[in-house]
């Protein structure tokens, strides 16, 4: 009995063992619950990005309109008036601005979120939080610019007297799809940038190249038609294509 009391007293003197942090398994989808647990930190990081972006900026959030607006004017003159790119009957300023608003969001988020893990390395080493919050906060904060730019798009539609069709009800789903795709690519680039620092140089080049190879400057149906004509040309040149009917 004396030995048992000594053991009990010894256990009471020991400091309590800290509880280990539960590891979240992304394969099981448990990371979503952890994100919900750290949702307040996500809002804080997103708001921090907004304040840093517009700190000491004379025009503030108006840059969300100025950047695609001036790009739209240049594209309207060179590609609309001079190159005469078809716009499907839509006025060229409205056609280009409609595509530049989501593209500006996509390009800006990639550039910011792609370097989020590296630029916040001191914060990562100090405290624990889901690393996905850093690129997610960049994607979330850029939604403010997207909303401001989209509001000016409504003004342009009123100016050109173009009424939206019933498909406008799908706009929230399209915005959500844009957010998910942008966040997925940003997470991938941010993780690669930690290991390969060349990614920070690849991101601007990829964004610049994507502006020309994706249907931002031309209608989507034109790119599909070009792909179909390219397929027909390859089939005509291939001896096996005539036999297989590919």
The per-residue pLDDT string of the chain (246 residues; one tens digit each, 9 = 90 and over) reads 454 454 445 445 554 544 444 444 444 456 677 777 888 888 998 988 888 888 777 777 788 888 888 988 888 888 877 777 777 778 888 888 988 999 999 999 999 998 888 888 888 888 888 888 899 999 999 998 899 989 998 899 999 888 888 888 888 899 999 999 999 999 999 999 998 888 888 999 998 888 888 877 777 655 545 444 444 433 333 333 333 344
Alpha carbon of 125 to those of 47, 100, 120, 128, 165: distances in Å?
Answer: 21, 37, 9, 8, 50
**Per-domain residue ranges for the chain?**
32-219
Helices 92-113 + 133-159 axis angle, to 10:
170
Whole-angstrom distance, CA of residue 19 vs CA of residue 5: 26
Phi-psi sector, 29: left (phi>0), alpha (psi -120 to 50), beta: left
d(CA 144, CA 147) in angstroms, rounded, equals 5
pTM to 2 decimal places? 0.73
Distance CA 152, CA 243 (A): 54
């Amino acid at each position: 009995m004396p030995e048992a009391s000594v053991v009990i007293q010894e256990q009471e003197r020991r400091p309590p063992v800290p509880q280990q942090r539960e590891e979240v398994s992304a394969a099981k989808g448990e990371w979503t619950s952890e994100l919900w647990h750290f949702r307040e930190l996500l809002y804080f990081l997103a708001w921090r990005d907004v304040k840093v972006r517009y700190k000491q900026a004379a025009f503030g959030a108006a840059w969300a309109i100025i950047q695609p607006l001036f790009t739209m004017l240049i594209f309207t003159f060179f590609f609309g008036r001079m190159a005469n790119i078809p716009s499907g009957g839509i006025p060229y300023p409205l056609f280009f601005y409609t595509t530049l608003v989501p593209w500006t969001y996509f390009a800006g988020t990639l550039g910011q979120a792609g370097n989020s893990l590296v630029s916040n390395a001191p914060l990562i080493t100090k405290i624990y939080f889901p690393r996905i919050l850093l690129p997610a906060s960049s994607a979330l904060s850029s939604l403010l610019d997207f909303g401001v730019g989209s509001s000016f798009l409504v003004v342009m539609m009123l100016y050109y007297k173009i009424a939206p069709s019933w498909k406008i009800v799908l706009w929230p789903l399209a915005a959500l799809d844009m957010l998910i795709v942008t966040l997925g690519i940003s997470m991938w680039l941010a993780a690669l940038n930690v290991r390969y620092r060349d990614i920070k140089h690849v991101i601007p080049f990829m964004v610049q190249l994507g502006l020309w190879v994706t249907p931002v400057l031309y209608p989507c149906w034109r790119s599909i038609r070009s792909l179909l004509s390219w397929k027909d040309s390859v089939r005509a040149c291939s001896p096996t294509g005539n036999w297989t009917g590919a």
